[in-house]
Amino acid sequence: MARPRPLSGFPEWLPAGRLVEQHVLDVLRRTFELHGFASIETRAVEPLDQLLRKGETSKEVYVLRRLQESEDEASAREPEKGLGLHFDLTVPFARYVLENAGHLSFPFRRYQIQKVWRGERPQDGRFREFTQADIDVVGADTLPYHVEVELPLVIADAFAALRDVGVPPVRIMVNNRKVVEGFCRCLGLDDVEPVLRAVDKLDKIGPDAVAELLRVETGADPALASAVMELVGLSGEDESVVDAAAALARRHGADDALLDEGLAELAALIGAAARQAPGTVVADLKIARGLDYYTGSVYETVLVGHESLGSVCSGGRYDTLASDGARTFPGVGLSIGVTRLVSRLLGADLVTATRSVPSAVLVAVADEEHRAASDEVAAALRARGVPVEVAPSAARFGKQIQHADRRGIPYVWFCGEQHEVKDIRSGEQQAADPATWAPPEEDRWPRVVPGTAS
Amino acid sequence: MARPRPLSGFPEWLPAGRLVEQHVLDVLRRTFELHGFASIETRAVEPLDQLLRKGETSKEVYVLRRLQESEDEASAREPEKGLGLHFDLTVPFARYVLENAGHLSFPFRRYQIQKVWRGERPQDGRFREFTQADIDVVGADTLPYHVEVELPLVIADAFAALRDVGVPPVRIMVNNRKVVEGFCRCLGLDDVEPVLRAVDKLDKIGPDAVAELLRVETGADPALASAVMELVGLSGEDESVVDAAAALARRHGADDALLDEGLAELAALIGAAARQAPGTVVADLKIARGLDYYTGSVYETVLVGHESLGSVCSGGRYDTLASDGARTFPGVGLSIGVTRLVSRLLGADLVTATRSVPSAVLVAVADEEHRAASDEVAAALRARGVPVEVAPSAARFGKQIQHADRRGIPYVWFCGEQHEVKDIRSGEQQAADPATWAPPEEDRWPRVVPGTAS
């Protein structure tokens, strides 16, 4: 077999890169669990009709077929009854909630870290297979607003816990659908959906093109389009942005209960964020999120200094995550694009690992007849939580030390009447007892640390 | 949407079940890392021609197609260039080794814990989507025999580390292909493959049917078939089983270098296992493993008392895991069927979790105006590693305690001038300082413990 080439859009890491990814996942898991989120996993597949319910995403779905399934079997099955790979974790979570509602206590707090698949054209930071880490809180029939304040602060906590290994600071941009919707309705733009879709393109096509789009798509006259552009141009870290939006609304005679509710909610979110995660959360009225199911707060997150990468964590409030006819389940959720984040951390050398193998110690083997003695030392060290491997061959000791060195293993152990352990970085060698010796804590496991670019 | 029903063969766990699965995965990861195995993950898809190289597994593969891919595009592509979901972690690992050989140090020790997919008919313990946990050591051109001794003992270590939560003991059954092959060749059965396939069916169809199969498939006369049946009937925990096999061979005039090598290797494995994991490893000469690529040791593992579940960990030595023409990569590997194991642990109530949510503390909310005070207490506790959630609503305290009780959260915190914390199991309530209080260690996180059937 010739040397295989990577598949575009399906990233894989070498062991050192995987250590960085594992650290990110471990920190996310710990943060989510400290905030009381329970882990679940769902199957990778969903019925096609469920995956296509929202319409817009149909182009992205990978459809499955068993190789030995006959053409007849396949065509006899209604196409929408087939299975596809999930393209996010929200659709499967909604299904999981409906399926298991009788066994869950609401509000139900869950996190979910899994691969998802989208058949899109791969680009920088955009993959066909990638890992998402989602948190959601879902209520039965009702879900109070304060959850919309809480969740972006959990995300702020998670990213803060990654700062010391070289992950850049994040800016979480928040908005509230009710503000834009209330404002537009007051001004006579009843169909808000095309407004949100146009505004969502602001970073891509610029304000003039968006204003033009507003005129073409919504029939807004230039004054109206300009008022909308003025609103979505507002941003800021404190509640003054809310005051500015209220003043703008008054100036345009917009007086609407929904708008007021949205502004009050946005103010509450910004106020809490300023206390609990100062400098992290920004109200940005252009944040629209194209998808139509958000009904309150919406969130996007950029790595400071890496804004062109796009959002590394997005989400919002949806009044109907799922419904079984009898009950409706509203939710608030955010999804971290772990693969997008990690690919940048590795690609830009922001984060790295101190070594690529777990072993802190290589136990040397004097000759194959005495391998059992080396195995015993290794077992004694492992029993006290020291990661160890035994040399693969009884080569001369110089070669065994080279074997450790190539892997970044810091210690080589020599068995004998009197055991000795050598720190191969300093060359220092000293007597040691397998029943008591341990490496310094910072050498025990590979550590994830800032890279050269941090 | 009506209440969805589970998909047969695609198991999902409720949060408490997921805690059991996470504990199993955490213990496996830690054990593998203590033995110096590095983590990798590979993409879920491989080119179809790679998945189908071995022939036999073609019926199991799920083929992917992008939903919007036109019929023309799909039919213009050669079918074998399409993508399928991997059905094990060995094929992708072999490809990963070839693709990255220049960046890896050999022998390369890796573990890999991922989902795999097989389009088989679902049965008890047999799924269409399931998690495997694999360890392999792969060498460049050579790989010494002692790795075949080491790897099943790593597995023994991993299962031993799961005993205290109620996982039953395991029996690891080992054999060596060279023994059966050498024995058969000496007796004139040059085509060993059908012999192995027939022997592999022993547990399913019984010795008489296997003997008959040997006669039909290999042309062995009754005496020859009976000699083979005698050999594969041998098993035992110490080296006497090897002596018995050697005596049997002599009786039949079998004198073969390969047979002797196989017997010596098997004796070495049994000897080391008796020292390092007494009572766990058994030589069992009927272990054949149907697949053709094993060339030395082969392994199967059963849960004691749950033998009918089938093997929960299998593998062996393969002289050619991968080859790029210039170099050949021999390997030894074992694969744990995590989903099969966990489904039994949960289904038979062998293992359970002390609660289904991470939170040790619910911080009560006196009224919505004072939610910020409760948030502050929660943040202070989390900063010291205590998992906490804040009550979702400022209901009367009785309802908030009920909320905690329903989730198994052991402590409820009441804010005030003087903070107090209540153990809702004992009813005991005492003053507490958010800056210093912590629950007893056994209450901090949900624990995974033996179930009622353990």
Percent of chain B with pLDDT over 90: 78
Q: Cβ(A316)–Cβ(A332) under 8 Å? A: yes
Mean pLDDT per 10-residue section of chain A, whose length is 454 residues? 87 98 98 98 94 70 85 63 92 96 96 96 91 98 96 98 98 95 88 87 90 88 90 93 94 88 95 93 91 87 96 95 91 98 98 98 96 96 98 96 97 96 97 98 98 90
Does the beta-carbon distance from A3 to B324 stay under 8 Å?
A: yes
Closest CA relative to residue B283, chosen from B304, B297, B296: B297
Shortest CA distance from B143: residue in chain A? A392
Q: Above 60 in pLDDT, residue B378?
A: yes
ipTM of this model? 0.96
Distance of CA A40 to the CA centre of its chain: 15
DSSP symbols for B209-236:
HHHHHHHHHH---HHHHHHHHHHHT-EE
Q: Which of residues 206-225 of A touch B (CB under 8 A)?
A: none
B386 CB within 8 Å of a chain A CB: yes
Instruction: Taking the CA atoms of A369, A373, A376 and A381 in sequence, report the sign of the dihedral they define.
Output: negative
Q: Which of B12, B63, B146 sits opposite A371 (nearest CB)?
A: B146
Q: Cβ(B109)–Cβ(A357) under 8 Å? A: yes
B324 CB within 8 Å of a chain A CB: yes
The CA distances from residue A407 to A364, A382, B306, B319, in Å, are: 14, 19, 41, 24
Q: Cβ(B232)–Cβ(B180) under 8 Å? A: yes
Tokens of A325: 């006819």
Mind telling me how many Å the CA of A80 is from chain B's nearest CA? 11
Does the beta-carbon distance from B275 to A372 stay under 8 Å?
A: yes
Q: Which of A4, A276, A393 sits opposite B379 (nearest CB)?
A: A276
Alpha helices in B118-252 (DSSP H): 146-160, 177-186, 192-199, 202-205, 207-218, 222-232, 240-251
How many Å is the Cα radius of gyration of chain A? 27
Tokens of B338: 């995590």
CA distance B329 to B15: 41
Residues of B in contact with A98 (CB under 8 A): 1, 3-4
- The confidence score (pLDDT) of residue B318 equals 93
Q: Which of B19, B22, B35, B51 to mutate to test the interface with A (most CBs of A within 10 A)?
A: B35
- The structure's pTM equals 0.96
- The confidence score (pLDDT) of residue A77 equals 66
Does the beta-carbon distance from B35 to A324 stay under 8 Å?
A: no
Tokens of A74: 């396949």
Does the beta-carbon distance from B35 to A323 stay under 8 Å?
A: no
Average pLDDT for chain B = 93
Is residue B281 within a helix (H) or strand (E), and if so which, with residue range?
Answer: strand B281-284
B166 sits in the region (left: phi over 0; alpha: psi -120 to 50; else beta) called left
The answer for residues whose C-beta is within 8 angstroms of residue A174's C-beta and 6 or more apart is: A152, A266, A269, A270, A273, A281, A282, A283, A284, A287, A297, A298, A299
Q: Give B292's pLDDT tier (boundaries 50, 70, 90).
A: low
Q: Which of A34, A64, A338 to mutate to test the interface with B (most CBs of B within 10 A)?
A: A34
- The confidence score (pLDDT) of residue B55 equals 61
A273 CB within 8 Å of a chain B CB: no
Does the beta-carbon distance from A388 to B35 stay under 8 Å?
A: yes
- The confidence score (pLDDT) of residue B80 equals 60
Amino acid (1-letter code) at residue A420: E
- The confidence score (pLDDT) of residue A312 equals 98
Shortest CA distance from B48: residue in chain A? A67
Q: Give B186's pLDDT tier (boundaries 50, 70, 90).
A: confident
Burial class from Cβ neighbours inside 10 Å (0-12, 13-18, 19+) for residue B270 reads buried
- The confidence score (pLDDT) of residue A353 equals 98
Q: Which of B13, B43, B50, B401 to mutate to test the interface with A (most CBs of A within 10 A)?
A: B43
Q: Which of A35, A358, A385 sits opposite B37 (nearest CB)?
A: A358
Residues of B in contact with A325 (CB under 8 A): 1-2
What DSSP designation does B409 have?
A: -
Q: Which of residues 397-426 of A touch B (CB under 8 A)?
A: 403, 406-407
CA distance B142 to B107: 9
Mind telling me how many Å the CA of A226 is from chain B's nearest CA? 38
B150 CB within 8 Å of a chain A CB: yes
- The confidence score (pLDDT) of residue A80 equals 60
Mind telling me how many Å the CA of A5 is from chain B's nearest CA? 6
Number of A–B residue contacts, CB under 8 Å:
238
Does the beta-carbon distance from B36 to A388 stay under 8 Å?
A: yes
- The confidence score (pLDDT) of residue B35 equals 98
- The confidence score (pLDDT) of residue A120 equals 86
A3 CB within 8 Å of a chain B CB: yes
Q: Which of A48, A323, A387 sits opposite B33 (nearest CB)?
A: A387
Select the more confidently predicted residue: B325 or B146.
B146
Mind telling me how many Å the CA of A338 is from chain B's nearest CA? 14
The mean per-residue pLDDT over the stretch B337-354 comes to: 98
- The confidence score (pLDDT) of residue A336 equals 98
Tokens of B415: 């804010």
B105 CB within 8 Å of a chain A CB: yes
Does the beta-carbon distance from A389 to B10 stay under 8 Å?
A: no
Mind telling me how many Å the CA of B184 is from chain A's nearest CA? 31
Walk across the sheet containing A45-47 and list its strands: A45-47, A83-85, A62-66, B62-66, B83-85, B45-47
Alpha helices in B284-410 (DSSP H): 338-347, 371-383, 397-407
Mind telling me how many Å the CA of A199 is from chain B's nearest CA? 27
Does the beta-carbon distance from A6 to B99 stay under 8 Å?
A: yes
Residues of B in contact with A13 (CB under 8 A): 40-41
A188 CB within 8 Å of a chain B CB: no
Q: Which of A60, A66, A399 to mutate to test the interface with B (most CBs of B within 10 A)?
A: A66
Cβ-based neighbour number of residue B437 at 10 Å: 19
Mind telling me how many Å the CA of A3 is from chain B's nearest CA? 6
Residues of B in contact with A18 (CB under 8 A): 38-41
Select the more confidently predicted residue: A188 or B391.
B391
Q: Above 70 in pLDDT, residue B56?
A: no
The answer for residues whose C-beta is within 8 angstroms of residue B288's C-beta and 6 or more apart is: B175, B180, B196, B197, B199, B200, B232, B298
Residues of A in contact with B103 (CB under 8 A): 14
Q: Which of A39, A63, A117 sits opposite B22 (nearest CB)?
A: A39
Q: Which of residues 274-313 of A touch B (CB under 8 A)?
A: 275-276
Does the beta-carbon distance from B100 to A4 stay under 8 Å?
A: no
Closest CA relative to residue B398, chosen from B423, B439, B364, B375: B364
Q: Which of residues 36-65 of A touch B (CB under 8 A)?
A: 36-45, 48, 50, 58-65
- The confidence score (pLDDT) of residue B75 equals 64
Q: Which of A10, A13, A29, A43 to mutate to test the interface with B (most CBs of B within 10 A)?
A: A43
